[in-house]
């Protein structure tokens, strides 16, 4: 390529020609992808430390990624358009997908704060008393770039006129009342679907304690609530949690086993939860451990463990995704309790596992609100960075 430039010195004009050659990456001893450094990927790798290669390079050989319905900018048009959800539900789903730092990616980052009831307000907010005021919960979700804020009916009701049009509201309609002595564990309705709609909610959220003695009643209550929510145009999110003393043995806590949580997810999407919230699996074999000669439990197939899962955390999480109708209902994993200095690493690790498994995002609360707001925003943003990073792909 030859270009001619004309210069005009003080005394006379002079024409000069220059030949410009494109220099290839190979000529600079650089690999083709090395010219542009992905700062975000580098930061995530640093946070993952010695687990970086284990999590970022894993290729799943269980359920093929080609069989999954993966998140994307067109998720509502691609997945929900043929469903029985009415146009108002589709609009509210799209509203959540179009809000915050993850807008138009198909991924979700939701701030959930219902621990004031679930774990008592004092125990939840003592670390950071400003969150006794629900306005700070909403502010944290907005400043943290979240797609939505999920909290109590009372908290959102106090501030609906000020914020319902600024960030999607998810009203948590049932809770575990934690004041009865001795403590009991049962999800009961705290709010009505109609009242949630009246305050401008885009979605409702509910919990079922699958495996508990009360689960049949909870299943019926939540199913009816979800039906009404869809009629009114709201989306539905189900906390698919396990609760049974028998699930925790001397060896393992099978409340977080892939096979049992996967089945809970499958029950959740069957009552038309649009989004499933589930704890990240930490082990497997809950059915095997509980189904003994002394006590028959459930139905099982060895291929769950030999073909559909492996010991790798991404494969365990993928089994959860598969039980959400192969990802038609998005799986968002919970961020878990705050453990202090390790919160950032734990949150980013969970996000990487969820994304690479085929999940739809993270719903992280205590790691964010049990610290100063600036630090809470940083953790929320770090999680979102995982989903924004195009170098972190489906395994």
Catalytically active residues are 277
In 3D space, the residue among 387, 380, 365 whose CA is nearest the CA of residue 107 turns out to be 387
- Cβ distance 309 to 315 under 8 Å? yes
Exposure string (b/e) for 104-137, b if CB count within 10 Å is 16 or more? ebbbbbbbbbbbbbbeeeeebbeebeebeebebb
Query: DSSP 3-state assignment of 218?
Result: helix
CA quadruple 174, 363, 170, 177: dihedral, nearest 10: 20
What would the 3-class secondary structure string for 153-197 be? HHHHHHHHHHHCCCCCEEEECEEECCCCCCCCCCEEECCCHHHHH
Exposure string (b/e) for 175-211, b if CB count within 10 Å is 16 or more? bbebeeeeeebbbeebbebeebbebbbbbbbbbbbbb
How buried is residue 45: exposed, middle or buried, by Cβ count under 10 Å (0-12/13-18/19+)?
middle
CA quadruple 59, 64, 66, 69: dihedral, nearest 10: -100
Distance CA 144, CA 163 (A): 15
- The two three-digit tokens of residue 365, written as one number: 């609360």
List the end-to-end C-alpha distance of the chain, in Å, as a whole number: 43
């Amino acid at each position: 390529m030859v270009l001619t430039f004309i210069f005009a010195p003080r005394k006379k004009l002079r024409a000069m020609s220059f030949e410009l050659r494109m220099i290839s990456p190979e000529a600079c001893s650089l690999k083709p992808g090395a010219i542009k450094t992905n700062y975000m990927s580098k930061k995530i790798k640093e946070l993952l430390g010695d687990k970086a290669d284990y999590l970022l390079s894993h290729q799943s050989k269980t359920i093929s990624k080609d069989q999954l319905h993966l998140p994307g900018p067109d998720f509502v048009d691609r997945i929900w358009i043929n469903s029985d959800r009415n146009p108002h539900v589709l609009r509210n789903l799209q509203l959540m997908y179009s809000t915050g730092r993850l807008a138009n990616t198909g991924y979700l980052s939701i701030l959930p704060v219902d621990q004031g009831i679930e774990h008592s307000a004092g125990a939840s907010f003592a670390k950071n008393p400003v969150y006794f005021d629900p306005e700070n919960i909403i502010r944290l979700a907005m400043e943290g770039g979240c797609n939505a804020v999920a909290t109590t009916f009372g908290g959102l009701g106090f501030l609906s006129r000020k914020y319902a049009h600024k960030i999607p509201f998810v009203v948590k309609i049932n809770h575990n009342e934690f004041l009865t002595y001795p403590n009991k564990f049962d999800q009961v309705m705290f709010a009505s679907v109609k009242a949630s709609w009246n305050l401008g909610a885009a979605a409702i959220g509910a919990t079922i304690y699958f495996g508990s003695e009360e689960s049949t009643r909870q299943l019926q209550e939540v199913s009816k609530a979800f039906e009404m929510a869809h009629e009114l145009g709201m989306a539905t999110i189900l906390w698919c949690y396990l609760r049974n003393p028998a699930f925790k043995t001397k060896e393992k806590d099978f409340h977080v086993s892939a096979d049992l949580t996967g089945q809970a997810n499958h029950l959740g999407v069957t009552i038309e939860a649009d989004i499933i919230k589930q704890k990240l699996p930490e082990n497997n074999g809950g059915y095997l451990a509980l189904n003994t000669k002394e006590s028959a439990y459930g139905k099982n197939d060895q291929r769950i463990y030999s073909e559909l899962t492996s010991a790798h955390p991404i494969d365990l999480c993928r089994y959860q995704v598969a039980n959400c109708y192969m990802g038609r209902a998005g799986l968002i994993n919970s961020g878990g309790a705050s453990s202090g200095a390790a919160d950032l690493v734990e949150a980013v690790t969970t996000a990487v596992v969820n994304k690479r498994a085929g999940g739809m995002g993270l719903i992280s609360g205590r790691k964010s609100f049990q610290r100063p707001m600036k630090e809470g925003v940083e953790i929320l943003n770090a999680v979102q960075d995982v989903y924004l990073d195009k170098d972190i792909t489906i395994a």
